[in-house]
Amino acid sequence: MSMLRKVASGLRGLFLRERVDRELEEELRTCLELEIEARMREGMSREEAARAVRLKRGNIEVAKEIVHAAGWESVVDSWWRDLRFAARALRRSPGFATVAIVTLGLGIGASTAIFSVVEAVLLRSLPYPDPARIVRVWELRPDGHRMPFADPNFADFRAQNRTFASLAEYSTWPASVSGGSEPVRVDVTTVSDDFFSSLGVAPFRGRGFAKDERRLHGAPAVIVSYRFWQRRLGAAPDLSRSPLVIDGKVYPVVGVMPARFDFPPGVAAWIPRQFEPEPSRTAHNFQAIGRLRDGTSLAQARADVSTIAHRIKAQYGKDVELFDASVAPLADDLVGEVRAALLTLSGAVGLLLLVACANVAGLLLARTSARRKEVAVRAALGAGRGRLIQQFMAESMFLSCAGGVLGIVIAIGAVRALPTVIPTNLPRQEGIGINPAVLLFALAATLLVALGLGLFSSRRLGAEDLQQALSAGSRNYSHGGNRRLRHFLVTGEIALTLAILVGAGLLGRSFLRLVSTSPGFHQENLVTIGFSPPAAKWSDPQAIARQVHQLDEIVSRLRAIPRVESVGLTGALPVAGGDDMATGNFLLLNGAPTPADLEGFGRMARDSSRVGHADYCVVGEDYFRTLGVPLRRGREFDSRDVVETPHVAVINESLARQRWPGRDPVGQIIEFGNMDSNLQPLTIVGVVGDVRARARFSPARHRLCGLPSARSPERQVAHPPRAQRCSRRRDHFGGARHFP
Amino acid sequence: MAEPSGLVQGTLDMLILKTLALAPMHGYGIAQRIEQMSQGVFSVNAGSLFVALQRLQRAGLIRGEWKATENSRRAKYYVLTRAGRQRFERETREWGRQAAAIARILGAT
């Protein structure tokens, strides 16, 4: 209450200053007049009385000043006056003002825009309860490479761990979903028990999966994302009316997740896992997520899973590929390698702001030198040091606030333009925007700049200095020592600016290198479309023949479209394929007979000198040409490679360097048996350039590409029933609507 | 123009409250009253007095209104508010307690 009165009264003093002034003056005058009259009644003359009263009570103007200075509004008032003075002074040198404001605006704008990205991607915590306890868990290979879980391994981890409140596995695949407004192709995730409870989120409408739906071959059920519910189900309140058809099977919708729930990122629907566990301990098909017990540290969890991993390794030896296990906070996992790139960029932009400040400081220095006489006169007239500093502060405050406003405008524009600039695989980018936290950052940056510049320009307001300036009069106050100092300062500042500029340039360059790392293929004019051919069992030759025909048909129809240059098929696209890239061991046969069965394969795989490890992916003819991956040696797949001919493979450069250093891998024979249960040996016919498989930030991995899919049905269908189609067009936009 | 000797910060406020507790008064009257009551020990200059009046007004302890004086001049009279009276009573009690305690300490033999 009293605070409110203080503010109100202060505001009155600020905005009705004249009235308040008049009132105070009148009051003071009345009081003095009353006292004078009282004295006169005692027999003094009017002059004597007035003199006595003035001596006793003090000068009326001084009293007014004292009363003014006592309220908080006087501080505001003096700042306001200084700011107006600064504005007037700056208007007299519009060139300086414009350059300074624009420079600061660019610096603050760039930092604010980058901070908005950092805030959304790195700083904001995940929208789940107690997010620090949510972790991802992986199997680890001896070389430190993370692998998804194989079913039996996961079961062991789940049963034996002592540090997890819950542990769940899930697997995501693109599926055709109909039943809503129209059939769509979206990502669907099968989840085990505890998936939603690990994340700590329940459906906001409907219910979670019932017990009957979570068992082997249980009742079908699907939970959809808020986005899917809004877009495809028309936000219908009654879920029971619109069951979904996912890959040909009917699923009643039982729940809708809240809008903030987005895990795995972009997934539209979740269905309970109802199929039997795969017995293989090397079929790494499942991602794992868990919630740590209350009070358990990450280190404890790591030790715990490590112990279990070692136990499994000791028990199953060569039958498992895992060597250890790793635990990482979900937030870190979602952000991944982007963190380093973003921090680099923040550093570069921070330095850029410093350069902007240094430049403006240089301009201010010149101004301060020119204004020394003015300052000296003011000081001589009684302005205190604090008052003078305040005046310089006001000027830098004015500049930096104007720069800050311009900066926010620039940042708003930049954030709007960001989606076209930042890599599409930057995680959590949908949260980027100008929000209160970002504005607060801009404000803090502005104030910091104002403070820094103000202190800089007022730092030489020493009394002796001023006296010198005053006594030097209008002459150039060019005392030898002083001039040398000034030259030293100017030189030092230029050197510093240069150093900072070089630093910013270097950081900017490394950021560019990080984000523009060539993915290994040409992205221009490349269009990709995903589709799922109906699943066909590899033991059914008729179904396979049908599928080969179907894929051939699709490819030839696409090739017939005008302006389509080339078409290729693949089981997993680079970058987008991400974690789904299959990975496994292969044998270097080198004349040895092909193993008769998987057991034989396993026996031979025990000899580490003849085992290699690589990502594996089935692609069709023309795939590398379509993607623009350069051919280094030999040939890529073509129409010669059909089911009946010896099976062939193409490997990438880094695998060639690793397994056949200094030799020609073309002609070598390998066997990739456990990837597709097909024991036909593969002859290497070509070497191609490296393609970054996962994110663009990750290093290229050894990679091997198997047979051309359309021509070798058994391998195509043994692979998961997904194929991606890439086609290269000659122009950017023209033909897009030709595609189904 | 300096503060009169012995008038510690905050004491002036209390003296003003005391003066106004007797009757509403204008600035000059308050100054005069304080001098009279202290038998000339305290003399108040205009700056200090009006800063204190502004401070008390902002704290909601007193309120000012323009009225005519006995010789029909317009002057701003200050009146104690309810909060001001409570504060005055509390401080008087506190002051008495402390003064008595100090007197006891100084008087102890």
3-state secondary structure of A468: helix
3-state secondary structure of A259: coil
Residues A25, A64 contacting (CB under 8 angstroms)? yes
Contacts of A62 in chain B (CB under 8 A): 1, 47
How far is A79 from chain B, CA to nearest CA, in Å?
A: 21
Read off the tokens for A497.
């600016």
What is the predicted pLDDT for the residue at A483?
Answer: 64
**What is the per-residue pLDDT across A678-724, written as a single tens digit (0 to 9) for each?**
667 788 888 888 776 543 333 333 344 443 333 333 232 222 222 33
Total Cβ atoms within 10 A of residue A158? 21
**What is the per-residue pLDDT across A401-410, written as a single tens digit (0 to 9) for each?**
999 999 999 9
Contact B45 A63 (CB under 8 A): yes
What is the distance in angstroms between the CA of the first residue and the CA of the last residue of chain A? 69
Contact A71 B54 (CB under 8 A): yes
Q: How confident is the model at residue B75 (pLDDT cuts 50, 70, 90)?
A: confident
Question: Any chain A CB within 8 A of the CB of B58?
Answer: yes
Instruction: Give mean pLDDT, residues A213-220.
Output: 86
CA-CA distance, A711 to A580, in Å (whole number)?
23
Tell me the CA distances in angstroms from A74 to A77, A84, A396, A496, B80, one per residue in order.
5, 15, 20, 39, 26
Given a cut of 90, whether residue A56 has pLDDT beyond it is no
What is the predicted pLDDT for the residue at A226?
Answer: 92
Segment (H or E) for A168? strand A164-178
- Closest by Cβ to B46, choosing from A9, A23, A63: A63
What is the predicted pLDDT for the residue at B8?
Answer: 58
Contacts of B1 in chain A (CB under 8 A): 58, 62
Nearest residue of chain A to residue B61 (CA atoms): A2
- Closest by Cβ to B51, choosing from A10, A34, A66: A66
Contact A28 B45 (CB under 8 A): no
Which of A32, A66, A68 to substitute to test the interface with B, most B CBs within 10 Å? A66
Question: Any chain A CB within 8 A of the CB of B67?
Answer: no
What is the predicted pLDDT for the residue at A700?
Answer: 36
What is the predicted pLDDT for the residue at A62?
Answer: 82
3-state secondary structure of A620: coil
What is the predicted pLDDT for the residue at A581?
Answer: 58
What is the predicted pLDDT for the residue at A168?
Answer: 93
Residues in chain B: 109
How far is B30 from chain A, CA to nearest CA, in Å?
A: 10
Half-sphere exposure of A56 (CA within 13 A, CB side): 19
A319 DSSP assignment: G
Segment (H or E) for A105? helix A94-118
Read off the tokens for A350.
């921070």
Given a cut of 80, whether residue A520 has pLDDT beyond it is no
What is the predicted pLDDT for the residue at A439?
Answer: 93
> What average pLDDT is seen over chain B?
83
Contact A30 B58 (CB under 8 A): no
Nearest residue of chain B to residue A61 (CA atoms): B47
Contacts of B57 in chain A (CB under 8 A): 9
Residues A63, A70 contacting (CB under 8 angstroms)? no
Q: How confident is the model at residue A303 (pLDDT cuts 50, 70, 90)?
A: very high
Residues A726, A626 contacting (CB under 8 angstroms)? yes
What is the predicted pLDDT for the residue at A471?
Answer: 62
CA-CA distance, B34 to B42, in Å (whole number)?
7
Contact A5 B71 (CB under 8 A): no
CA-CA distance, A609 to A660, in Å (whole number)?
12
What is the predicted pLDDT for the residue at A518?
Answer: 64
What is the predicted pLDDT for the residue at A703?
Answer: 42
Instruction: Give mean pLDDT, residues A395-400.
Output: 90
Beta bridge partners of A270: A189, A223
**A307-323 burial: b if 16+ Cβ within 10 Å, else e:** ebbeebbeebeeebbbb
Contact B50 A58 (CB under 8 A): no
What is the predicted pLDDT for the residue at A468?
Answer: 64
Question: Any chain B CB within 8 A of the CB of A3?
Answer: no
> What average pLDDT is seen over chain A?
77
Total Cβ atoms within 10 A of residue A359? 18
CA-CA distance, A178 to A182, in Å (whole number)?
6
What is the predicted pLDDT for the residue at A174?
Answer: 75
Instruction: Give mean pLDDT, residues B10-22.
Output: 85
- Beta-carbon contacts of A334 under 8 Å, excluding residues fewer than 6 positions away, are A126, A265, A427, A428
Nearest residue of chain A to residue B76 (CA atoms): A27
Instruction: Give mean pLDDT, residues A304-331.
Output: 88
Question: Any chain B CB within 8 A of the CB of A374?
Answer: no
**A688-709 burial: b if 16+ Cβ within 10 Å, else e:** bbbbbbbbbbeebbbbbbbbbb
Contact A33 B50 (CB under 8 A): no
Handedness of CA A478, A483, A484, A487 (dihedral sign): negative
Among A254-258, A417-421, A581-585, which range has the highest average pLDDT? Answer: A254-258
CA-CA distance, A58 to A335, in Å (whole number)?
70
What is the predicted pLDDT for the residue at B5?
Answer: 43
Q: What is the dihedral of CA B83, B88, B93, B95, to 10 degrees?
A: 130
Contacts of A71 in chain B (CB under 8 A): 54, 58
What is the predicted pLDDT for the residue at A400?
Answer: 92
Q: How confident is the model at residue A477 (pLDDT cuts 50, 70, 90)?
A: very low
Nearest residue of chain A to residue B84 (CA atoms): A2
Instruction: Give mean pLDDT, residues A280-290.
Output: 86
Contact A30 B32 (CB under 8 A): no
Contact A24 B50 (CB under 8 A): yes
Contact A5 B58 (CB under 8 A): yes
How far is B101 from chain A, CA to nearest CA, in Å?
A: 32
Contact B71 A37 (CB under 8 A): yes
3-state secondary structure of A51: helix
Contact B1 A58 (CB under 8 A): yes
Question: Any chain A CB within 8 A of the CB of B11?
Answer: no
Instruction: Give mean pLDDT, residues A353-378.
Output: 79
Handedness of CA A683, A688, A692, A693 (dihedral sign): negative
Given a cut of 60, whether residue B99 has pLDDT beyond it is yes
How far is B2 from chain A, CA to nearest CA, in Å?
A: 10
Instruction: Give mean pLDDT, residues A353-358.
Output: 85
- Closest by Cβ to B50, choosing from A9, A33, A63: A63
Question: Any chain B CB within 8 A of the CB of A63?
Answer: yes
**What is the per-residue pLDDT across A161-184, written as a single tens digit (0 to 9) for each?**
899 999 999 988 777 788 766 677
How far is A39 from chain B, CA to nearest CA, in Å?
A: 12
Note if the bond before A252 is cis, omega within 30 degrees.
Answer: no
Question: Any chain B CB within 8 A of the CB of A27?
Answer: yes
Instruction: Give mean pLDDT, residues A418-440.
Output: 79
How far is A41 from chain B, CA to nearest CA, in Å?
A: 13
Nearest residue of chain B to residue A26 (CA atoms): B75
- Beta-carbon contacts of A441 under 8 Å, excluding residues fewer than 6 positions away, are A111, A112, A115, A119
What is the predicted pLDDT for the residue at A142?
Answer: 81
Contact B75 A30 (CB under 8 A): yes
- Closest by Cβ to B54, choosing from A32, A34, A67: A67
CA proximity to B40, closest of B6, B13, B80, B89: B6
Contact B46 A60 (CB under 8 A): yes
Given a cut of 60, whether residue A481 has pLDDT beyond it is no
What is the predicted pLDDT for the residue at A734?
Answer: 22
Q: Which of A29-43, A62-76, A366-380 has the lowest mean pLDDT?
A: A366-380
Q: Which of A311-320, A524-533, A696-705, B20-29 has the lowest mean pLDDT?
A: A696-705
A to B CB pairs, distance under 8 Å: 80
CA-CA distance, A313 to A322, in Å (whole number)?
7
Sheet bearing B25-26, strands edge to edge = B25-26, B74-80, B62-68
3-state secondary structure of A122: helix
Contacts of A33 in chain B (CB under 8 A): 73
Q: Higher model confidence: residue B18 or residue A581?
A: B18
Helix crossing, A94-118 with A73-92: angle to 10°? 120
Q: Which of A199-213, A492-506, A520-534 has the lowest mean pLDDT?
A: A520-534
Contact A9 B57 (CB under 8 A): yes
Contact B54 A70 (CB under 8 A): yes
- Beta-carbon contacts of A169 under 8 Å, excluding residues fewer than 6 positions away, are A149, A151, A154, A191, A192, A195, A273, A286, A287, A288, A289
**What is the per-residue pLDDT across A1-15, written as a single tens digit (0 to 9) for each?**
567 777 777 777 777
**What is the per-residue pLDDT across A712-740, written as a single tens digit (0 to 9) for each?**
332 322 222 223 333 333 222 222 222 22
Question: Any chain A CB within 8 A of the CB of B32?
Answer: yes
Question: Any chain B CB within 8 A of the CB of A35?
Answer: yes
Q: Which of A113-127, A299-313, A720-734 has the lowest mean pLDDT?
A: A720-734
What is the predicted pLDDT for the residue at A438?
Answer: 92
- Beta-carbon contacts of A450 under 8 Å, excluding residues fewer than 6 positions away, are A393, A396, A397, A399, A400, A401
Contact A58 B76 (CB under 8 A): no
- The alpha-helical segments, DSSP class H, found in A381-523 are 385-421, 436-458, 463-472, 480-515
Which of B1, B3, B16, B28 to substitute to test the interface with A, most A CBs within 10 Å? B28
Contact B28 A30 (CB under 8 A): yes
3-state secondary structure of A143: coil
pLDDT cut 70: percent of chain A above it: 80
Nearest residue of chain B to residue A23 (CA atoms): B76
What is the predicted pLDDT for the residue at A474?
Answer: 47
Given a cut of 50, whether residue B6 has pLDDT beyond it is no
What is the predicted pLDDT for the residue at A698?
Answer: 34
CA proximity to A521, closest of A739, A689, A278: A689
CA-CA distance, A716 to A517, in Å (whole number)?
31
Q: How confident is the model at residue A64 (pLDDT cuts 50, 70, 90)?
A: confident
CA-CA distance, A387 to A364, in Å (whole number)?
19
Question: Any chain A CB within 8 A of the CB of B2?
Answer: no
Contacts of B65 in chain A (CB under 8 A): none
What is the predicted pLDDT for the residue at A382?
Answer: 73
Contacts of B71 in chain A (CB under 8 A): 37
CA-CA distance, A297 to A229, in Å (whole number)?
37
Question: Any chain B CB within 8 A of the CB of A4?
Answer: no
Instruction: Give mean pLDDT, residues A100-124.
Output: 89
